[in-house]
Amino acid sequence: MTDHENETDEKLESRRDFLYLTTGTVAAVGGALALWPFINSMNPSADVLALSSTEVDLSPVEVGQSITVMWRGKPVFIRRRTEDEIKLASETPNDLPDPQKDSDRVVNPEWLVVVGVCTHLGCVPLGQGSTEPRGDWNGWFCPCHGSHYDISGRIRKGPAPDNLMVPEYKFLDESTIKIG
Amino acid sequence: MSAHKNHSESSGGGLVKWIDSRLPVFTYLQKEYGEFPAPRNFNYWWNFGAILTFMLVLMIFTGIFLAMQYTPHVDMAFDSVERIMRDVNYGWLLRYLHANGGTFFFIAVYIHIFRGLYYGSYKNPRELLWMFGVVILLLMMATAFMGYVLPWGQMSFWGATVITNLFSAIPLVGDAIVTWLWGGFSVDNPTLNRFFSLHFLLPFVLLGVVVLHVIALHVTGSNNPLGIDPKGPQDTIPFHPYYTAKDAFGLALWITAFVAVVFFAPNFFGEPENYIKANPMQTPAEIVPEWYFLPYYAILRSIDFNLWFIDAKLGGVIAMFGSILVLFVVPWLDSSKVRSARFRPLYKWFFWILLLDCLLLGFVGGHPPNEHVFDGIDWLEFIDLGHVGTAWYFFHFLVLLPLLGKVEKTRPLPTSITESVLNGGDAPSGRLTKSVEGA
């Protein structure tokens, strides 16, 4: 009799354990899934995404000039490089912190298009204005924490880990590009 | 309830009794704030719990009224703050109380933390109490950071940009996290909106954690300058009227200093750059956080080298967050059984060195890394001081604290609080040990 009772109890117990476990799991997974819409609501919304490309007319830019355009709320540096600058940029030293060839960073070597946001902590580097400091490599210089970029937007010195980002862009014609 | 009449039940009129027998709030207040037995030897460093409570209430109160006038939109936020300053009745007072309230809140919390470090208030059995305190510090920092973004000045914008970009240092998912935090591709209107929402929410979360902090305190009881446990009723006095009076006196002095700043130097702790509207196309010459974040900023910037697979950027972020997270484990890092630094001749000195180290880091955080510390001395830049200060900070917690308990010869503890108080000194040997913290 007692043996039989114990057996039923054990059976009941393992059955109950199983029910607790499955109920708990379903509730936990369901709860986690229900959180997703809330988390995802904080990601860029459709209207923000819709504004994510910009067309730029390059015809007024002379050789050796830079312009800054706004793309996704960030400045984009567009520089029409001189022959000397192109030659300088085409050299690829071995000791680059983020090794990359200049040819991998441009569509047309005359035009350098980079996001003007320091890859360290997001400041806007100086060097666009004719009177601004351009750093030890004559490109751009970030005043926040002292990162120096060369004329290909590659990091040379300072805390920034990566080269200035090259946005996705294409030439629509000779003198118009579409960024994004 | 009324069947168990005891001395902790509140006296009072019929209405009080009627309420109390249904919801014993009066009994609770009498027990926890009336006769609550507190060590009889608190000094004024024990005032800061009350001061912090006052500051939190003040911040929530002024904040609610400011929120009635503020507009969380990138095109209107800056102007709405100027409108508060110029057009809203007493708007200037609300804003200056709130802005300087942040400063005084942090002064008080740092004193409170260093009080705990000096007197070993984090040790058994108050570990959890201390850890809730660290959570409070983290919540305060998050709240202060988001609040500083709301006026949408240049420092607001660029501070937000730099701090949110810290998360991009996380491998693999960093950039996705930053985009998620921003709700876009840069700090912009969605970011401002969510920061306003969270800046409103977090103080109430903070209040909840403060309640846990206080409940935990009332379970273990307060530590005291001697760091020894009360041995009986002769070692304690009722919280009211003794410490309510002492807290009220200290609070009055504190409020005097606070309103003096609010009325006579309201922009002393502010940054002129933040009276320029945010401009995403132009970074200010130098981005400086509010003074209370400067030591962490110095630690962040002092990791300017790669370590194994960790690059400088991630290393800086780890060190910065680590400098606060290390506080969570202080109760277990400190191997000494003696709580109060009064009886720890070595630790006492290292405590003051740590305090100086934190001040040094704050000083470093306020200057560009490659600026010379002294004109004419080329070999000493702020980054060098940052290296030393950061190294010492972690050395103190990770090496000194575990080691000191093993090698330090502590002074003899008094047999009881009462004996020490009546001797007019701290230890049985009496006057030899006139306390440092009185200075």
Residues 177-216 on B with a CB inside 8 Å of A are: 179-188, 190, 194
Nearest residue in chain B measured CA to CA from A116 = B281
Beta strands in B121-238 (DSSP E): 236-238
Lowest mean pLDDT among B10-19, B127-136, B395-404: B10-19
Residue B357 one-letter amino acid = D
pLDDT the model gives residue A4: 62
Under 8 Å between Cβ of B343 and B427? yes
Minimum-distance CB partner of A73 among B165, B280, B286: B280
φ, ψ of residue B129 to 5 degrees: the values are -55, -45
CA dist B183 and B189 (Å) reads 9
Which among B4-13, B127-136, B311-320 has the top mean pLDDT?
B127-136
- For the cut 50, the answer to whether the pLDDT of residue B2 exceeds it is no
- For the cut 80, the answer to whether the pLDDT of residue B4 exceeds it is no
Beta strands in B216-275 (DSSP E): 236-238
- For the cut 90, the answer to whether the pLDDT of residue A24 exceeds it is yes
- Judge: B301–A159 Cβ closer than 8 Å, yes or no: yes
pLDDT the model gives residue B8: 47
For chain B, what percent of residues have pLDDT higher than 90?
77
Is B387 a catalytic site residue? no
CA dist B404 and B396 (Å) reads 10
pLDDT the model gives residue A131: 82
User: Mapped to the 3 state alphabet, what secondary structure does B373-434 carry?
Assistant: CCCCCCCCEHHHHHHHHHHHHHHHHHHHHHHHHHHCCCCCCCCCHHHHHHHCCCECCEHHHC
CA dist B439 and B401 (Å) reads 24
Answer with the residue of higher pLDDT: B437 or B193. B193
- For the cut 60, the answer to whether the pLDDT of residue B252 exceeds it is yes
A152 in helix, strand or coil? coil
Question: What sign for the dihedral angle of Cα A63, A69, A72, A74?
Answer: positive
pLDDT the model gives residue A49: 84
Helix axes B294-302, B345-365, angle to 10 degrees: 80
pLDDT tens digit string along A108-149? 888 899 999 888 877 888 888 878 888 888 889 987 778 899
Q: Which residue has the tokens 């400067």?
A: B294
Q: How far is A56 from chain B (nearest CA, A)?
A: 17
Q: Which residues of A touch B382 (CB under 8 A)?
A: none
The arithmetic mean of pLDDT across residues B416-429, rounded, is 74
A72 and chain B in contact, CB less than 8 A: yes
CA dist B208 and B211 (Å) reads 5
Of the candidates B289, B14, B4, the one whose C-alpha atom is nearest the C-alpha of residue B162 is B289
Answer with the residue of higher pLDDT: A13 or B149. B149
pLDDT the model gives residue B313: 82
pLDDT the model gives residue A55: 87
CA dist B91 and B97 (Å) reads 10
pLDDT the model gives residue A96: 82
CA dist B386 and B296 (Å) reads 10
B47: tokens are: 């005032």
B372 and chain A in contact, CB less than 8 A: no
The phi-psi region of residue B222 (left if phi > 0; otherwise alpha if psi is between -120 and 50; otherwise beta) is beta
A180 and chain B in contact, CB less than 8 A: no
Mutation for A interface: B177, B178, B186, B191, most A CBs within 10 A = B186
B161 and chain A in contact, CB less than 8 A: yes
pLDDT the model gives residue B356: 98
Please provide the average confidence, as pLDDT, over all residues in chain B: 91
A171 in helix, strand or coil? strand
- Judge: A161–B312 Cβ closer than 8 Å, yes or no: yes
B400: tokens are: 């000194």
Lowest mean pLDDT among B217-231, B257-271, B307-321: B307-321
B262 in helix, strand or coil? helix
Question: Max Cα separation, chain A?
Answer: 101
Under 8 Å between Cβ of A126 and A142? yes
Work out the number of other CB atoms within 10 angstroms of the CB of residue A167.
17
Please provide the average confidence, as pLDDT, over all residues in chain A: 85
Of the pLDDT bands very low, low, confident and very high (cuts 50, 70, 90), residue B434 is very low
pLDDT the model gives residue B421: 86
CA dist A30 and A95 (Å) reads 51
- Judge: B185–A73 Cβ closer than 8 Å, yes or no: yes
The arithmetic mean of pLDDT across residues B202-224, rounded, is 96
Peptide bond into B72 cis (omega under 30): no
pLDDT the model gives residue B247: 96
Of the candidates B312, B310, B284, the one whose C-alpha atom is nearest the C-alpha of residue B383 is B312
Q: How far is A38 from chain B (nearest CA, A)?
A: 12
CA dist B128 and B150 (Å) reads 33
Lowest mean pLDDT among A37-41, A69-73, B374-378: B374-378
Of the pLDDT bands very low, low, confident and very high (cuts 50, 70, 90), residue B439 is very low
pLDDT the model gives residue B260: 97
pLDDT the model gives residue A92: 79
The arithmetic mean of pLDDT across residues B320-335, rounded, is 96
pTM of the predicted model as reported, rounded to 2 decimal places:
0.86
Q: Which residues of B touch A75 (CB under 8 A)?
A: 280-281
CA dist A34 and A25 (Å) reads 14
pLDDT the model gives residue A137: 83
pLDDT tens digit string along B127-183? 999 999 999 999 999 999 999 999 999 999 999 998 998 898 888 899 899 999 999
A39 and chain B in contact, CB less than 8 A: yes
pLDDT tens digit string along B54-106? 999 999 999 999 999 999 999 999 999 999 999 999 999 999 999 999 999 99
B295 and chain A in contact, CB less than 8 A: no
pLDDT the model gives residue B10: 52
- Judge: A73–B186 Cβ closer than 8 Å, yes or no: yes
Answer with the residue of higher pLDDT: B366 or B286. B366
User: If 0-12 CB within 10 Å is exposed, 13-18 middle and 19+ buried, where does residue B396 land?
Assistant: buried
- For the cut 50, the answer to whether the pLDDT of residue B432 exceeds it is no
Under 8 Å between Cβ of A104 and A168? no
DSSP string, B8-74: TSPP--HHHHHHHHHS-HHHHHIIIIIS-EEETT--GGGGHHHHHHHHHHHHHHHHHHHHTT---ST
- For the cut 60, the answer to whether the pLDDT of residue A157 exceeds it is yes
Under 8 Å between Cβ of B435 and B225? yes
- For the cut 50, the answer to whether the pLDDT of residue A88 exceeds it is yes
Query: Considering B9, B235, B271, B290, which one is annotated as catalytic?
Result: B290
Sheet holding A74-80: strands in order across? A66-71, A74-80, A111-115
- Judge: A120–B281 Cβ closer than 8 Å, yes or no: no
Helix axes B189-220, B154-165, angle to 10 degrees: 70
Is B222 a catalytic site residue? yes
Of the pLDDT bands very low, low, confident and very high (cuts 50, 70, 90), residue A65 is confident
A51 and chain B in contact, CB less than 8 A: no
Of the pLDDT bands very low, low, confident and very high (cuts 50, 70, 90), residue B3 is very low
Q: Which residues of A touch B179 (CB under 8 A)?
A: 43-44
The complex's ipTM works out to 0.76
